[in-house]
């Protein structure tokens, strides 16, 4: 356990840089607040600052110093932005823009897998050919390639994902001149360079993804290019400073959010969604899914009858339900020999009435009946007497 005289060597890099070699006893409330203000002025996000404060809190708690400043230091507010779901035209734009560019092919193929399997980027990068079952058309996400135990799962490959796998296999054949080995990575390291290594995973496609999502089309000549002040075509030279890609700011992880959104809109079972996505908590599909406005509009249109071709009158239907209830109560109260109630129940009621009021037939032990139930009822009430049953 660190003592108040211990140094701050266990703090994160930025916190250690600020507090230096000061002992824990020298860290005061004012010092922590000044640290937070400096980090915010430097443009650090609230989430990053909160994570650093979590480590600092742990150190101070172990040194029995946190209680001195706990009331004055609170976590900074954070926006819980869980992601983004693409519109249909945005999804088509993403795949269409990436198709003609050789340097964007890894990003395009990875995007196809994420959109059709819900796989994370780390799972795609760590995927080996031994995890791909070409006979069953499935891919197994192993524990070593995912972040949780629940992430280990088997995902069926639909048509789009299967075609992407076949394209990746052909690329591996052309790149290495032979069939891929089972322990090779589907996305090999340093592909496109002089010495690609299939035994190591690709570091990523961050540059390609950024260029792909920021690419714009010149409104004057239609040339695909990165944002700038003027069009790169010397003959055009149009001002494109205000042109912005609709995919700008799209994260690769948002493709997983989009896939889960489409599964939710397709009314897939929650347990099936968790099996596909690798979730362990039932709350995670609701956390990741982003049901789009069109789906919400269709659901609300169904309430007004627009989805089924017409509307209904609330007052009429409510009154009809009330009248139906009243009619059923009248039938129950007025049931009699008209056959609405069963004969056995009628006979039992008539037998009890005759026994109570003392009819002549009952005193003589004579009773007209249609059911043996009524006879047994009479005998149970008149032990030791004989009963003559007349049918």
Please list, in sequence order, all residues whose beta carbon lies within 8 angstroms of the beta carbon of residue 275, skipping any fewer than 6 positions away: 153
The H or E element spanning position 154 is strand 153-156
In residues, how long is the chain? 391
Rounded to whole angstroms, how far apart are CA atoms 167 and 163? 6
pLDDT at 147 over 60: yes
Instruction: Assess whether 294 and 158 both reside in one domain.
Output: yes
Rounded CA gap, 391 and 151, in Å?
77
CA nearest to 277, candidates 81, 119, 109, 86: 119
Between helices 88-98 and 105-117, what is the axis angle to 10°? 150
Report the range of poorest mean pLDDT among 40-44, 175-179, 310-314.
Answer: 310-314
Give the per-residue pLDDT at 383.
54
What's the chain's average pLDDT? Answer: 79
β-strand 188-189 against 197-201: which pairing, if any? antiparallel
Residue 8: pLDDT band (50, 70, 90) is low
Whether residues 55 and 93 share a domain: the answer is no
275 neighbors 153 (Cβ within 8 angstroms) = yes
**Per mean pLDDT, which of 3-17, 156-170, 249-263 is the most reliable?**
156-170
Q: How do 132-133 and 216-217 pair as beta strands?
A: unpaired
Start-to-end Cα distance in the chain: 98
Domain match, 62 and 141 both = no
Q: What is the pLDDT of residues 46-55, one digit of tens each?
A: 888 898 888 8
Interstrand relation of 366-368 and 388-390 (parallel, antiparallel or unpaired): parallel
Maximum Cα–Cα distance for the chain, whole Å?
A: 122
Helices (H) and strands (E) in the chain, counts: 16, 9
Domain count for the chain, please give it.
3
36 in the same domain as 99: no
Q: Give the domain extent around 130.
A: 84-205+252-305
Q: Are residues 195 and 116 in the same domain?
A: yes
Shared domain check, 88 and 188 = yes
pLDDT of residue 334: 46
Within a domain: 111: yes
- The reply to whether 298 and 190 lie within a common domain is yes
Q: Is residue 283 part of a domain?
A: yes
- 325 within some domain: no
The CATH number covering residue 133 comes to 1.10.443.10
Q: Is residue 191 part of a domain?
A: yes
Specify burial of residue 98 (Cβ count, 10 A radius: 0-12, 13-18, 19+).
buried
Task: Supply φ then ψ for residue 185, to 5 degrees.
Answer: -80, 145
Q: Does residue 195 surpass a pLDDT of 70? A: yes
**105 located within any domain:** yes
User: What's the mean pLDDT in 129-156?
Assistant: 89
Q: What span, in angstroms and rounded, lies between the C-alpha atoms of 37 and 166?
A: 52
- Tell how far CA 250 is from the center of its chain: 18
Q: Is residue 214 part of a domain?
A: no
pLDDT on residue 130: 96
Alpha-carbon span 208 to 106, nearest angstrom: 8
Question: Is 92 a member of any domain?
Answer: yes
pLDDT cut 70: percent of the chain above it: 70
User: Do 160 and 128 share a structural domain?
Assistant: yes
Assess if residue 235 is contained within a domain.
Answer: no
Task: Name the band, by pLDDT with cuts 50, 70 and 90, for residue 98.
Answer: very high
**Alpha-carbon gap, residue 62 to 70, rounded angstroms:** 14
22 lies in the same domain as 143: no
Tens-place pLDDT, residues 330-368: 444 444 445 444 555 556 566 655 655 554 444 444 444
């Amino acid at each position: 356990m660190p003592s108040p005289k211990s140094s701050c060597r266990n703090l994160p890099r930025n916190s250690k840089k600020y507090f230096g070699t000061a002992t824990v006893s020298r860290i005061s409330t004012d010092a922590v607040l000044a640290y937070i203000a400096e980090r915010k002025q430097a443009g650090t996000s609230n989430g990053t600052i909160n994570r650093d404060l979590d480590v600092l809190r742990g150190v101070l708690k172990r040194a029995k110093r946190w209680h001195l400043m706990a009331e004055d230091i609170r976590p900074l507010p954070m926006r819980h932005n869980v992601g983004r779901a693409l519109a249909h035209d945005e999804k088509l734009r993403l795949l269409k823009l990436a198709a003609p560019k050789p340097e964007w092919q890894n990003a395009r193929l990875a995007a196809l897998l994420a959109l059709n399997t819900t796989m994370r980027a780390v799972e795609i990068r760590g995927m080996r050919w031994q995890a791909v079952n070409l006979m069953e058309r499935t891919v197994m996400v192993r524990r070593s390639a995912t972040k949780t135990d629940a992430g280990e799962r088997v995902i069926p490959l639909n048509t789009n994902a299967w075609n992407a796998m076949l394209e990746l296999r052909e690329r591996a054949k052309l790149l290495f001149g032979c069939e891929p080995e089972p322990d090779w990575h589907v996305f090999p390291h340093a592909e496109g360079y002089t010495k690609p290594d299939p035994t190591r995973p690709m570091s990523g496609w961050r540059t390609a993804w950024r260029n792909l999502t920021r690419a714009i089309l010149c409104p004057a000549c239609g040339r695909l290019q990165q944002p700038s002040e003027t069009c790169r075509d010397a003959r055009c030279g149009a001002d494109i400073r205000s042109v912005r890609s609709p995919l700008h700011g799209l994260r690769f992880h948002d493709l997983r959010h989009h896939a889960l959104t489409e599964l939710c809109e397709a009314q897939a079972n929650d347990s099936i969604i968790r099996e596909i996505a690798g979730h362990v908590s039932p709350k995670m599909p609701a956390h990741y899914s982003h049901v789009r406005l069109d789906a919400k509009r269709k659901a609300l249109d169904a309430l007004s009858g627009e989805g089924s071709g017409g509307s209904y009158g609330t007052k009429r239907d409510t009154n009809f339900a009330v009248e139906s209830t009243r009619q059923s109560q009248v039938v129950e109260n007025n049931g009699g020999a008209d056959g609405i109630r069963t004969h056995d129940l009628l006979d039992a009621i008539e037998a009890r009435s005759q026994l109570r009021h003392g009819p002549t037939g009952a005193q003589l032990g004579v009773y007209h009946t249609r059911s043996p139930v009524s006879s047994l009822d009479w005998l149970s009430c008149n032990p030791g007497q004989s009963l003559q049953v007349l049918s």
